[in-house]
């Protein structure tokens, strides 16, 4: 039985070793560090060996310790060991280049300059060419950004005794991306929240890379609970974001798969806490985000919008359309009139935030007193005179026709100043009747009210004159 076991074990180890070949990428654990070599357990029957120099930093310090995990490439196999490398580098002869080409082993190269159609790359002290389409796995917008970088490449063409060398970085990246993509889809399901990096922005949304080679779209409507006009308002290229994986759909190209993502769904819905944060009567400040014929939508918190109906915009003047008062982007103050969490609606009032001027009209404009006002507009039945923003009274045509003096009421136009008297105040209907300021020309003596402490004799004289004119 011991012989059978030894035989099986030897066969198993042989299979493990045979499974490796030059060019394979393996993950191994550092088991020992020597003066010239670092020994790695890469899953074979014999240890993997990588040159110590490959694992030094610019200061000549070793960057790994026993127990660390390394990602390496198989560059050679013998009965005693598996030769490993981060990538072939340094000076090398034609045989080494040929081995790398045939075995698909990555080589390290420095991008020296941008040339027509691609780049001049130096590998193993030799000149190579990398087409611009092969320098990355995605579209290259700024080729000059790659100049000066040291990267790993795969040799795709080797002719003329090493004088014609073509390399590709994209070939390596696509292999890594395929592996990462397979692992990603094996471990994720719709509804999961994952992290990614914003790679580019478009008018309709943002593209987020979840793992190398796996990129999804966050539509602009799924970027934020707040209303935004463009992705740039909320995101920048390079941002790390949490997204909810919504699922996949078939793309336009055969075999193409599109991923749908959502940033806002990876966050809490702000309406869940609205009833705790906002109460009727609260005064808030918000940004106008949309105008409609009937009012303006104001964002009072990210993702929380309220409606200011056109009738709630001002006490000071009649508003015919919201654009006469506010524009998108304006910051405004408002008072919350109603909160409906179930329907996700909030009613706001801008005019209540300013205050209702009619609340103090009785105190500020007592009957019998004269004030200077501004002509607002003329109608057949009289002049509307503005006493202060939001408070306008009517000077009847009949009163002006009987008035005598220097004021030519028929010549007054909007914007002119005029002295008027308060004849009556109707708070319920928000109406003020005005006179010319002369008591002997009061048109409606029944509506006249003397000031406190007034003289009854003078009132009798006024009434007598008024009755005489009526007769």
Q: How far apart are CA 204 and CA 207, in angstroms?
A: 10
**Tens digit of pLDDT at every position of the chain (471 positions):** 455 655 654 554 554 445 677 767 788 899 999 888 899 988 777 888 888 887 888 788 888 999 999 888 787 777 777 888 776 655 455 777 887 888 788 888 999 999 999 999 998 888 999 999 999 988 888 999 999 999 999 999 998 877 899 999 999 888 888 888 888 888 889 999 999 999 999 999 999 999 887 889 999 999 988 888 899 988 999 999 999 999 888 777 776 778 899 999 998 888 888 988 899 988 888 899 999 999 999 999 888 999 999 989 987 777 889 998 899 988 888 999 999 988 889 999 998 887 778 878 888 899 989 999 999 889 989 999 989 888 899 999 988 888 877 788 888 888 899 999 999 999 888 899 999 876 554 444 334 444 443 444 444 555 555 555 554
CB 199 within 8 A of CB 208: yes
Tokens of 176: 């890594």
What is the distance in angstroms between the CA of the first residue and the CA of the last residue of the chain?
141
Residue 4: per-residue pLDDT: 62
Closest CA to 328 of 284, 265, 375, 286: 286
Residue with tokens 């042989």: 14
For residue 358, count CB atoms less than 10 angstroms from its CB and return exposed for 0-12, middle for 13-18, buried for 19 or more: middle
What is the model's pLDDT at position 354?
78
CA distance 297 to 304: 10
- Residue 451 and residue 215: Cα distance in Å, rounded? 80
Q: Residue 157 and residue 263: Cα distance in Å, rounded?
A: 44
Supply angle C-alpha 157, 159, 160, rounded to 5.
Answer: 155
List the beta bridge partners of residue 431: 426
Here the tokens at position 373 are 């006002």
Are 89 and 104 a contacting pair, CB within 8 Å?
Answer: no
Q: What are phi and psi of 417, to 5 degrees?
A: -90, 145
According to DSSP, the β-strands at 82-85 and 48-51 are: parallel
Nearest to 335, CA basis, from 356, 320, 350, 321: 350
Q: How far apart are CA 6 and CA 11, in angstroms?
A: 8
| pLDDT of the residue at 138 | 81
Instruction: Note the helical H segments in 156-306.
Output: 170-187, 274-277
pLDDT tens per residue across span 300-329:
988 899 999 998 998 777 788 999 889 998
327, 288 Cβ separation under 8 angstroms: yes
Q: What is the pLDDT of residue 355?
A: 77
Task: Provide the pairing of β-strand 82-85 with 107-115.
Answer: unpaired
Per-residue model confidence (pLDDT) at position 11: 53
Write the pLDDT tens digit of every residue in 83-97. 887 766 554 557 778
Please, what is the Cα angle at 426 between 425 and 428, to 5 degrees?
150
- pTM of the complete model: 0.50
Report the distance separating Cα 117 and Cα 128, nearest Å: 13
The pLDDT assigned to 353 comes to 83
CA pair distance 10, 121, nearest whole angstrom: 45
The sign one gets for the Cα dihedral 225, 227, 230, 236 is: negative
Q: Which helix (H) or strand (E) holds 7?
A: helix 2-18
Strands of 160-292, DSSP E: 164-168, 193-202, 205-211, 214-219, 240-250, 257-262, 283-292
Phi-psi group of 460: left, alpha or beta (phi > 0 → left; psi -120 to 50 → alpha; rest → beta): alpha
151: left (phi over 0), alpha (psi -120 to 50) or beta: beta
Neighbour-count burial of 438, counting CB atoms closer than 10 A to its CB (0-12 exposed, 13-18 middle, 19+ buried):
middle
Phi first, then psi: give them for residue 18, nearest 5 degrees. Answer: -65, -25
**CA contacts within 13 A on the Cβ side of 432:** 27
Which pLDDT does position 437 carry in this prediction? 77
CA distance 388 to 376: 11
Q: Which helix (H) or strand (E) holds 353?
A: helix 350-354
HSE toward the beta carbon, residue 106, CA cutoff 13 A: 24
């Amino acid at each position: 039985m011991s012989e059978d076991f030894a035989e099986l074990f030897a066969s198993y180890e042989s299979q493990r070793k045979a499974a490796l070949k030059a060019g394979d990428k393996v993950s191994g654990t550092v088991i020992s560090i020597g003066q010239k070599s670092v020994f790695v357990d890469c899953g074979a029957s014999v240890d993997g060996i990588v040159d110590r120099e490959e694992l030094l930093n610019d200061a000549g310090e070793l960057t790994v310790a026993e127990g660390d995990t390394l990602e390496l490439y198989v560059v050679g196999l013998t009965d005693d060991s598996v030769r490993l490398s981060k990538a072939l580098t340094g000076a090398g002869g034609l045989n080494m280049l040929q081995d790398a080409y045939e075995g698909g082993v990555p080589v390290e190269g420095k991008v020296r300059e941008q040339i027509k159609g691609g780049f001049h790359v130096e590998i193993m002290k030799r000149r190579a060419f990398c087409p611009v389409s092969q320098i990355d796995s995605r579209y290259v917008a700024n080729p000059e950004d790659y100049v000066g970088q040291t990267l790993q490449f795969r040799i795709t063409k080797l002719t003329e005794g090493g004088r014609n060398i073509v390399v590709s970085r994209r070939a390596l990246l696509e292999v890594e991306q395929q592996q990462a993509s397979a692992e990603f889809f094996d471990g994720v399901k719709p509804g999961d929240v994952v992290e990614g990096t914003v790679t580019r922005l478009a008018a309709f949304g943002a593209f987020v890379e979840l793992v190398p080679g796996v990129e999804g779209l966050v539509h602009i409507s799924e970027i934020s609970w707040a209303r935004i006009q463009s992705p740039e308002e909320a995101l920048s290229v390079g941002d790390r974001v949490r997204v909810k994986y919504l699922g996949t759909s078939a793309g336009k190209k055969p075999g193409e798969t599109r991923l749908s993502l959502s940033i806002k769904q990876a966050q809490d819905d702000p309406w869940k806490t609205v009833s705790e944060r906002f109460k009727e009567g609260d005064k808030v400040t918000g940004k106008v985000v949309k105008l409609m014929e009937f009012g303006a939508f104001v964002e009072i918190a990210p993702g929380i919008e309220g409606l200011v109906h056109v009738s709630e915009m001002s006490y000071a003047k009649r508003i015919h359309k919201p654009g006469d008062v506010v524009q998108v982007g304006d910051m405004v103050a408002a008072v919350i009139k109603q909160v409906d969490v179930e329907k996700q609606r909030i009613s706001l009032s801008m005019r209540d935030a300013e205050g209702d001027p009619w609340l103090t009209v009785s105190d500020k404009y007592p009957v019998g007193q004269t004030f200077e006002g501004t002509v607002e507009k003329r109608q057949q039945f009289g002049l509307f005179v503005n006493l202060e923003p939001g408070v306008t009274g009517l000077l009847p045509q009949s009163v002006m026709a009987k008035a005598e003096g220097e004021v030519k009421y028929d010549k007054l136009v909007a914007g002119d100043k005029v002295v008027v008297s308060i004849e009556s105040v109707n708070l319920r209907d928000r109406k003020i009747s005005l006179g010319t300021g002369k008591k002997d020309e009061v048109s409606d003596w029944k509506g006249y009210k003397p000031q406190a402490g007034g003289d009854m004799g003078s009132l009798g004289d006024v009434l007598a004159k008024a009755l005489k004119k009526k007769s």
